[in-house]
A = this chain, B = another copy of it.
Amino acid sequence: MKVGILGFGTVGSGTYRMLQENREAIERNAGVSIEVVKIGIRDAAKPRDVAAELFTTDLDSIVRDPAVEVILELIGGIDPAEKLVRQALANGKNVVTANKELMAKCGSDLVSIAREKGLDMHYEAAVGGGIPLVQPLKHQLAGNDVLRMMGILNGTTNFILTKMSQEGADFADVLAEAQALGYAEADPTNDVDGFDTMYKISILASIAFGHQVPVDCVYREGIREISAADMHFAEMLGYAIKLLGVCELLPDGQLLVRVHPTLLPKDHPLAAVNGVYNALWLHGDFVGDVMFSGRGAGANPTASAVMGDLIDIGRNLKIKGPGSAIPYSGPKPTAPIDCLESRYYLRVKSQDRPMGLGQLATCFGQSDVSIAAMEMRQLEDGIAEIVFLTHRSQESSVRDAIVQIESMGKGDSVQTCIRVEGDGTL
Chain A residues close to B by CB (< 8 Å): 14, 18, 21-22, 25-26, 28-29, 124, 130-132, 135-136, 139-145, 210, 269, 272, 284-295, 298, 300-301, 303-305, 307-312, 315, 319, 321-322, 324, 326
Contact = CB atoms under 8 A, between A and B. Distances in A.
Given A124-B140, A132-B141, A269-B272, A290 B293 contact: yes
Contacts of A21: 285
Nearest to A142: B29
Contacts of A272: 269, 272
A141 B29 CA distance: 10
A22 B141 CA distance: 12
Contact of A308 (B25, B140, B210, B322): B140
Nearest to A272: B272
A251 B214 CA distance: 49
Given A287-B300, A288-B301, A294-B289, A29 B312 contact: no
Contacts of A14: 286
B292 A291 contact: yes
A142 B307 contact: yes
A326 to B, nearest CB: 8
A231 to B, nearest CB: 20
Given A132-B140, A143-B304, A311-B142, A288 B293 contact: no
Contacts of A290: 130-132, 292-295
Decide if the interface of chain A is mainly helix, strand, loop or mixed. mixed
18 contacts: A22-B285, A25-B143, A26-B143, A130-B287, A132-B141, A136-B140, A139-B308, A139-B311, A140-B305, A141-B308, A142-B308, A143-B310, A286-B304, A286-B307, A287-B304, A287-B305, A288-B301, A292-B292
Chain B CB count within 10 A is highest, among A14, A304, A319, for A304
Contact of A288 (B130, B144, B291): B130
A117 to B, nearest CB: 13
A219 B96 CA distance: 41
Contact of A18 (B286, B293, B309, B324): B286
Contacts of A124: 140
Contacts of A315: 324, 326
